[in-house]
Amino acid sequence: MSKHVIVIGSGFAGLAAATSLAQRGYRVTVLEKNEGPGGRARVFKAEGFTFDMGPSWYWMPDIFEQYFARFGMKVSDYYDLVRLDPSYQVVFKGPEAVDIPAAMSELRALFERYEPGSAARLDEFLRQAAYKYEVGIGKFVHMPGRSLLEFADPRLLVDALRLDLLQSMHKHVRKFFKDSRLLELVEFPILFLGATSENTPALYSLMNYADLALGTWYPMGGMHKIVEGMVKLAQEQGVTLEYNQEVQQIVVENGRTTGVQTATGFHPADIVVAGADYHHAEQHLLAPEWRHYTEAYWDKRTMAPSSLLFYLGVNKRLDKLRHHNLFFDEDFALHAEEIYEQPKWPSRPLFYASTPSITDPSVAPSGCENLFLLIPVAPNLPDPEETREHYYHLIMDRLERHCGHSIRDAVVFKRSYAHQDFVQDYHSYKGNAYGLANTLRQTAILKPSLKSNKVSNLYFTGQLTVPGPGVPPSLISGQVVAGEIEKEFPIPAKPVMPELAH
């Protein structure tokens, strides 16, 4: 008889876990708190505009291809993917705006223009980053992180030594580049990993390989097209999805969960996978005696940033913007410090502007622009309306200065989203947007475990456990937990009928 698995949450990790388990023969039900799938990658429509609510960068296309290939499918079976060129625009101090080209030859020329001799150093930097990507993404991120014995293979130990786990990203990149603009360019992914470059292992230069070598892509119709594709694939594998089903309790008897309780009643299960916020699932859905970690443990975790977001519908086209735009026209180091070292609302924030309507006319009415603004900020901050408005006007002043014309008077739709919204919609711990910071002390086996040590058939997946925050890691997280469940709770092979054995 097939075992029934309940997956809590339909984000990337939850969907990946559910689909992978269904393929292995488990009967799977996904219970989603909100009215539709996707978790932080939900979508909403207003005034003719279509807004992706969360992730907007499509990096590591190979991870998505590998995921769909597991089921005999391709990305193109579910959505149309295009590579962006330029990949994005960076606005430096001055202000100086530069497009980051997709072609490596043009990228080398750009580096050389800023710092003579840096093109050759870029080649070596990316060669090392490619190795880290191959080993880090190809091997280590697929490890469940439950025991040091996972790393006992001598070949893995050699790989680990070459991954620069003990050297900081700050020190590593300065071996190759000196120009402040190039340093900001290669360090910017760190801003979203949850620590300053001084406290982030040089392993994460693999993100630069993903960015500069593998490129920036976009699924036509928006990032939610990935979710729609994953939902369709899940249903093709037999997964049942139920929305508006917020789990209120994980029921445990004698060290085993028997299912979950929602407002509609009890849902029995042989195995439960919590793809919702790990802290919430453990500290609020489990009775105290079944919790693996204490509240003090969680409070000591270093969180990745939260975000202040603005979704804007603009009734005219905007000049001088690209699909992705990074505004580094203020002090990069100061903003990072105000997120991680002395958490507070930033005094002179960096920000990111996405204008997907430049690439994709379907996300905005004709002649209009879909504008998504993001300020990375420290988690656990109060975010009253007056604070949100202050920062809205602060960054709009700079955006209008860059574009060379007014924008605010053309805004026909506006919605803000910050800490309290992340808490309300996702039970996000401290209102974080990205999960745990990728510091050395929160890597691999030092992350919260994907398996409960007190409830024998309870598992966790998503950005607060292995391998970490981001869309591709969450996609991998769901697959890793499915593999662990298959090892520990295998489905017995169907007996072969005697007449078929001959």
3-state secondary structure 311-360: EEEECCCCCCCCCEEEECCCCHHHHHHHHHCCCCCCCCCCEEEECHHHCC
> What pLDDT score was predicted for residue 450?
98
Together in a domain, 312 and 344: yes
Phi, psi of 466 (to 5 degrees): -70, 145
DSSP 8-state secondary structure symbol assigned to residue 20? H
Task: Give a three-class secondary structure readout of 242-272.
Answer: ECCCCEEEEEEECCEEEEEEECCEEEECCEE
323: tokens are 């699909």
Q: Is 296 exposed, middle or buried (0-12, 13-18, 19+ CB in 10 A)?
A: exposed
The whole domain housing 453 covers: 1-33+244-292+449-502
Residue type at 270? D
> What pLDDT score was predicted for residue 499?
53
DSSP three-state, residue 412: strand
> What pLDDT score was predicted for residue 501?
46
Together in a domain, 117 and 26: no
Helix residue ranges per DSSP H, 81-198: 104-114, 118-138, 154-161, 169-173, 180-187
Torsion angle of the four alpha carbons 393, 396, 400, 402, in this order, in degrees rounded to the nearest 10: 130
pLDDT digits (tens, 9 = 90+) for 421-451: 999 999 999 999 999 988 888 988 999 999 9
Together in a domain, 391 and 479: no
Q: Report the sign of the C-alpha dihedral through residues 340, 465, 428, 327, in that order.
A: positive
Average pLDDT over residues 245-256: 98
Residue 221 counted as domain residue:
no
Q: Is the pLDDT of residue 497 over 60?
A: no
Residue type at 368? C
Together in a domain, 363 and 423: yes
Q: Is the pLDDT of residue 317 over 50?
A: yes
Share of the chain above pLDDT 70, in %: 95
Together in a domain, 150 and 208: yes
Residue 67 counted as domain residue:
no
Q: Is 299 exposed, middle or buried (0-12, 13-18, 19+ CB in 10 A)?
A: exposed
DSSP 8-state secondary structure symbol assigned to residue 304? P
> What pLDDT score was predicted for residue 440?
84
DSSP sequence for 110-140: HHHHHSTTHHHHHHHHHHHHHHHHHHHHHTG
pLDDT digits (tens, 9 = 90+) for 31-76: 999 999 999 999 999 999 999 999 999 999 999 999 999 999 999 9
Residue 157 counted as domain residue:
yes
Q: Which helix (H) or strand (E) holds 43?
A: strand 43-46
374: tokens are 């993001």
Give the chain's end-to-end CA distance (angstroms, integer): 25
Torsion angle of the four alpha carbons 345, 348, 350, 353, in this order, in degrees rounded to the nearest 10: 90
Together in a domain, 26 and 81: no
> What pLDDT score was predicted for residue 195?
74
213: tokens are 């070598």
Residue 64 counted as domain residue:
no
Nearest of 33, 31, 27, 462 to residue 239 by alpha carbon = 27
> What pLDDT score was predicted for residue 500?
47
> What pLDDT score was predicted for residue 155?
64
Q: Is the pLDDT of residue 389 over 90?
A: yes
> What pLDDT score was predicted for residue 390?
98
User: Among 388, 406, 438, which residue terminates a domain?
Assistant: 438
Residue 461 counted as domain residue:
yes
**What is the CB-side half-sphere exposure of residue 439 using CA atoms within 13 A?**
15
Together in a domain, 204 and 159: yes
Instruction: Please state, in angstroms and rounded to a whole number, the distance separating the CA atoms of residues 131 and 223.
Output: 28
> What pLDDT score was predicted for residue 439?
85
Q: Is the pLDDT of residue 15 over 80?
A: yes
Q: What is the value of pTM for the model shown?
A: 0.96
Instruction: Please state, in angstroms and rounded to a whole number, the distance separating the CA atoms of residues 8 and 31.
Output: 5
Together in a domain, 323 and 417: yes
DSSP three-state, residue 219: strand
For the chain, what is the mean pLDDT? Answer: 94
Residue 231 counted as domain residue:
no
What's 359's domain CATH number? 3.30.519.10
Together in a domain, 119 and 196: yes
Q: Is the pLDDT of residue 217 over 60?
A: yes
Together in a domain, 83 and 161: no
Residue 227 counted as domain residue:
no
Q: Domain tally for the chain?
A: 3
**Max alpha carbon distance in the chain (Å)?**
80
Q: Is the pLDDT of residue 320 over 90?
A: yes
Residue 297 counted as domain residue:
no
> What pLDDT score was predicted for residue 341?
87
Of 290 and 340, the structure prediction assigns the larger pLDDT to 290
Average pLDDT over residues 386-415: 98
CB 379 within 8 A of CB 306: yes
pLDDT digits (tens, 9 = 90+) for 323-342: 999 999 999 989 989 998 89
> What pLDDT score was predicted for residue 196?
82
Together in a domain, 111 and 204: yes
Percent helix, strand and coil across the chain, each rounded to 5?
40, 20, 40
Together in a domain, 488 and 422: no
CB 243 within 8 A of CB 35: yes
CB 412 within 8 A of CB 314: yes
